[in-house]
Amino acid sequence: MKEDSCYLIKYTSSGLYCELADAWIDPIKPVKRALITHAHMDHFTFGCDEYISTYETAVIIKERIGKEINIKTYDYEKEFKINGIKISFHPSGHILGSSQIKFSFAEEIWLITGDYKRQKDDTCKEYEIVKTDYLISESTFGLPIFKWDEPQKTTTDISKWVNSSQEKTSILFCYSLGKAQRILNEISKTNFKNNIYTHSSIYRMNNCYKKLGIDIIETKKLEQTKNNSDLKGSLIILPPALNKSSFLKNFKDSQTGFASGWMSIRALRKRSGYDKGFSISDHADWISILRTIKESKANNIFFHHGDSEALNKYLKEKNSINVLEFEYKK
């Protein structure tokens, strides 16, 4: 077996690294050059000398951090070179602007999926099947108990949940970037007529999406001083960080829900402390991970992000692909 150092992409204490291009992918520490798969903050680190991403990702990042950074952008599929390594971004279907990153060098192709999903999502480009030799796939939901319902089913449930408690304020927690916009986009296709309020962080992202040409239903920005009796029967969308915060004291008669892939498990739903869990995810479920591996035609697979023990063992038993693990350096 090859040593990590022989691979085109390896794992370092700062994250995935392509030595020949001297570039890190979603580094967790400040580095010289960072390729960014998408604009979620756990994939972004301040203080890098240079960032490279898709245009949409760059716009969202700048909006989120509120300042200029040295960021270079490339369109999807547009190939560019760093130190002779050919690199390109390809849609990953996770959120707006999210991408897989393809590296080619000396007849060898590596593909880092970043976070991805195979479900339909009208707020971003659909996942693109990219053929590769080496695949580095995320495995956040790497167990067969995870199988996503159609998003329409979840938004119909959300809509029913709000409508069946008109005397209450329904507070739905979800990630402010990506998930919130996807839910809003989906819910606009149901016959949901109630008022929707969004927290300022979500409201800002909505505008950002709209600016980038995505169809997002009109919501009202939630003002902290808002008289809460006006909010009965409305849907309020907040980021999860505000759960159990003093912010919630503004709403007396309320019910809470959380939208996340983890909510498909009853124990996690119960432990989360929300009244209701809605299962909807922007990551790949088990079947999608297996499908993606197959369609990529990869001969070698690494998993990154998430618990990959079961996937590793399952694929080894099937013996159809070479399952590799990074020598993790702490």
Partner 1 sequence: MSLKKFSELFTDLDSCNSTNKKIGILQKYFSSNEALENSWTIYLLTGKKNKRFISGRSIKTLFSEIYEYPLWLIDSCYLKVGDSAEVISLLLRNMITGKNIKYQDISLDELLNKSFPELSILKEDYKKLRVKEIWENIPIENLLVINKILTGTFRVGVSIGLITKSIAKLINLDEAIISHRLMGDFIPSEESYKLLIDKKINPLELNYKPYPFLLANTFEKKIIDKSINDFQFEWKWDGIRIQLIKRSGKVSIWTRGQDLVNKSFPELVEKISSIKDDFVIDGELLVWDFKQSLPLNFSLLQKRINRKAPSRKIQKNLPIIFIAYDLLEINGEDQRYSNLEIRRNNLEKHLCNWLNESKEELSNIFKISDLIHPKNWEEAETFKNNSRDNGTEGLVIKNKKSIYTPGRKKGLWWKYKVDPMQLDAVLIYAKGGSGIRAGLYTDYSFALWKDGELIKFASAYSGLNNTEIKELDRWIRQNTIDRFGPVRSVRPEMVFEISFENIQISKRHKSGIAVRFPRITKWRKDKLIKDADTLENAQKLMLNK
Binding region for partner 1 (CB under 8 A): 143-147, 264-271, 275-277, 286-287, 309-310, 313-314, 317
Q: Using the structure block, give the residue that is written with the tokens 């393809």.
A: 102
Residue 139: count other Cβ atoms within 10 Å of its Cβ.
23
- Closest to partner 1 by CB, 114 vs 261, is 261
Q: For partner 1, which is the closer residue by CB, 148 or 192?
A: 148
Instruction: In angstroms, give the least distance from the CB of 287 to partner 1.
Output: 7
Minimum CB separation of residue 270 from partner 1 in Å reads 5
- What is the closest distance, in whole angstroms, from the C-beta atom of residue 309 to partner 1 in the complex? 7
For residues 212 and 60, what is the distance between their CA atoms, to the nearest angstrom? 9
Shortest Cβ distance from residue 104 to partner 1 (Å)? 35
CA 225, CA 158: separation in Å to the nearest integer? Answer: 26
Q: With respect to partner 1, which residue has the nearer C-beta, 32 or 147?
A: 147
CA-based end-to-end distance of the chain: 21
Closer CB to partner 1, 82 or 143, in the complex: 143
Alpha helices for 6-163 (secondary structure H): 55-65, 151-163
Residue number with CB closer to partner 1 (217 or 268): 268
Least distance to partner 1, CB of residue 29, Å: 20
| Strand pairing category for 196-198 and 235-238 | parallel
Indicate the residue among 72 and 313 with the shorter CB distance to partner 1: 313
Closest CA to 115 of 177, 181, 51, 71: 177
For residue 61, give Cα distances in angstroms to 28, 58, 174, 208, 325.
Answer: 16, 5, 19, 10, 31
8 Å CB contact between 312 and 323: yes
Which positions ≥6 away from 123 have C-beta within 8 Å? 95, 96, 178, 181, 182, 185, 209, 214, 215, 216
Phi, psi of 103 (to 5 degrees): -120, 130
* Distances from the Cα of 241 to the Cα of 95, 175, 248, angstroms: 20, 9, 11
- Residue 150 Cβ, how far from partner 1 at the closest point, in Å? 12
Rounded least distance, CB 277 to partner 1, Å: 8
Q: Find the shortest distance in angstroms from Cβ 90 to partner 1.
A: 27
Choose between 41 and 145: whose C-beta lies nearer to partner 1: 145
Q: Which is nearer to partner 1, 211 or 244 (CB)?
A: 244
